[in-house]
Amino acid sequence: MKHSTVAELLSQVKKQNEIEIKGWVRTFRANRFIALNDGSTINNIQCVIDFENTDESILKRITTGAAIHIKGILVESLGKGQTVEIQVVSINILGDSNPDEYPIQPKKHTFEFLRENAHLRTRTNTFSAVMRLRSTLSFAIHKYFNENGFYYMHTPIITGSDAEGAGEMFRVSLLDAKNPPLNDNGKVDYTQDFFGKETNLTVSGQLEAETYAMSLGKVYTFSPTFRAENSNTSRHLSEFWMIEPEVAFMDLEGNMDLAEDFLKYVLKYALKNNKEDLAFLEQRLIQEDKTKPQAERNEMTLTEKLRFVIDNNFKRVSYTEAIDILRNCKPNKKKKFKYIIKEWGADLQSEHERFLVEKHFECPVILFDYPANIKAFYMRLNEDGKTVRAMDILFPAIGEIVGGAQREERLDVLKEKMAALDISEEELWWYLDLRKYGTAVHSGFGLGFERLVMFATGMSNIRDVIPYPRTPQNAEF
């Protein structure tokens, strides 16, 4: 007989003979009550043992973390907190867990401690809830694009071009690091390397996605991306997953409409499908808030925050308008910001983005038409000659969650821009070809997947929403 999952059994109401279940012991009380979890739901199922008829040697081995196989009868529960429970008929220990050594004891652990035990941390309610939500959101993303006529494209992880400019790159090389071959100029001779040229891990699949959008129309990537910046913040990873749709014949406004519709869809999907995980995470935040000073507490519960994004129109504001607001706002005048906004052209920091979203507009914000010189070379230049058709979406608690643009489709303008930034035409010949053969208006954006998971789960450190975070000085597991 195939064994059931905890989720399946908890959804039953009728008595059922001869059920089987396998899972890990969360707690074992009074030599009688096992709380068993198998990952299928945040809830445990209670298994009641007839301890007088169970071997002492078996009872001793029912410890937190042990894997067990139970055969029994599903009955209505008289205890509080569950509708059904299992009367154990037989119990088989599949894998012991030494209680003196097992790190995940049934008590509160700090997130720092759990990060050091990332291989076991999904055995806690918080991390299992976060990772189930991560899985649901991934699925919702594919579902959205599939329902809307997009093709899923796999962009390369190893790239031969470093012109994207989105960030520092990790080199991929088989040359002897201690004694690399040199060319006549005394520089490392990458023609002798594996690919015959310098290669790196990609920072974004966008440029390749653009090539496919210009033939398949609507495409998206959902891939790992890598950035070698030494930024140790709660919102940056060295390896993160990015979703990048790219659409032919779509301008910046269409891009904003798409991003807004897409974000609302995936959050709505999570709300509908992971109710119990979200309820648990919401309670966790409420408890956490009680330990904080009033000013740092969340004004909204987790569900309210999600509903707030789903139910409200995102406010669309030009960069120029935003700079005016920021220049004249209280924290800027009173020098409360770390970076004071002095003039048009300033790059926005997360503190400014969060002020706009959380204090000024009090809703998600789409900022557009940024100064050309703080944005990437491929963004379409506006008529004013100084701003580009860029857009960033800003979320409460997160700041920038999406970055995108309408792309420069005019060959001459693109070439001028590349020349000014010293980007080699030779290297990006294929990207320029798109502008030579059937060029057209097109746009896209990149959503940082972990920032979305942070928002949906209320977790405040990006290291806690990806199974094995890669950050400077850290690549354990």
Binding site for ligand 4AD (CB under 6 A): 166, 204, 206, 227, 236-237, 240, 242, 244, 400-405, 444-446, 448, 450-451
Residue 466 CB, nearest distance to Mg ion (Å)? 19
Burial classification of residue 382, based on how many CB atoms lie within 10 Å of its CB (0-12 exposed, 13-18 middle, 19 or more buried)? middle
Nearer to ligand 4AD, 265 or 378 (CB): 378
Residue 403 CB, nearest distance to Mg ion (Å)? 3
Cβ count within 10 A of residue 14: 8
Residue 197 CB, nearest distance to ligand 4AD (Å)? 22
Nearer to ligand 4AD, 355 or 370 (CB): 370
Closest CA to 126 of 104, 100, 96, 97: 104
Nearer to ligand 4AD, 123 or 407 (CB): 407
364 binds, among ligand 4AD, Mg ion, none (CB under 5 to 8 A by kind): none
Nearer to ligand 4AD, 45 or 247 (CB): 247
Residue 165 CB, nearest distance to Mg ion (Å)? 11
446 binds, among ligand 4AD, Mg ion, none (CB under 5 to 8 A by kind): ligand 4AD
Nearer to ligand 4AD, 317 or 402 (CB): 402
**DSSP class of residue 248?**
E
* Amino acid, res. 321: E
Q: Name which position in 65, 403, 404, 469 contacts Mg ion (CB under 5 A).
A: 403
401 binds, among Mg ion, ligand 4AD, none (CB under 5 to 8 A by kind): ligand 4AD
The 10 Å CB-count burial string (b at 16+, else e) for 124-161 is: bbbbbbbbbbbebbbebbeebbeeeebeebebeeebeb
Residue 352 CB, nearest distance to ligand 4AD (Å)? 15
Collapse the DSSP code of 452 into the 3-class scheme (helix H, G, I; strand E, B; otherwise coil) and give the result: helix
Q: 388 pairs with which residues across the strands?
A: 370, 381
Question: Is 106 within 8 Å of 27 (Cβ atoms)?
Answer: yes
For 294, the token pair is: 């009033």
Q: 92 pairs with which residues across the strands?
A: 69
Question: Is 303 within 8 Å of 65 (Cβ atoms)?
Answer: no
Closest CA to 97 of 125, 133, 67: 67
Nearer to ligand 4AD, 70 or 390 (CB): 390
Distance CA 368, CA 371 (A): 10
Residue 431 CB, nearest distance to ligand 4AD (Å)? 13
365 binds, among ligand 4AD, Mg ion, none (CB under 5 to 8 A by kind): none
Residue 378 CB, nearest distance to ligand 4AD (Å)? 8
Stretch that binds Mg ion, among 176-184, 198-206, 398-406, 429-437 (CB under 5 A): 398-406
Distance CA 75, CA 84 (A): 6
Instruction: Determine phi and psi for 90, rounding to 5 degrees.
Output: -145, 150
Q: 407 pairs with which residues across the strands?
A: 379
Element holding 206 (H helix, E strand): helix 206-216
For 396, the token pair is: 């409460």
For 477, the token pair is: 């597991």
204 binds, among ligand 4AD, Mg ion, none (CB under 5 to 8 A by kind): ligand 4AD
242 binds, among ligand 4AD, Mg ion, none (CB under 5 to 8 A by kind): ligand 4AD
281 binds, among ligand 4AD, Mg ion, none (CB under 5 to 8 A by kind): none
Residue 29 CB, nearest distance to ligand 4AD (Å)? 42
Residue 446 CB, nearest distance to ligand 4AD (Å)? 3
44 binds, among ligand 4AD, Mg ion, none (CB under 5 to 8 A by kind): none
* Amino acid, res. 123: R
Nearer to ligand 4AD, 204 or 332 (CB): 204
For 68, the token pair is: 């067990």
| Residues in Cβ contact with 143 at an 8 Å cutoff, skipping those fewer than 6 apart | 269
Residues of this chain that interact with Mg ion (CB under 5 A) are: 403
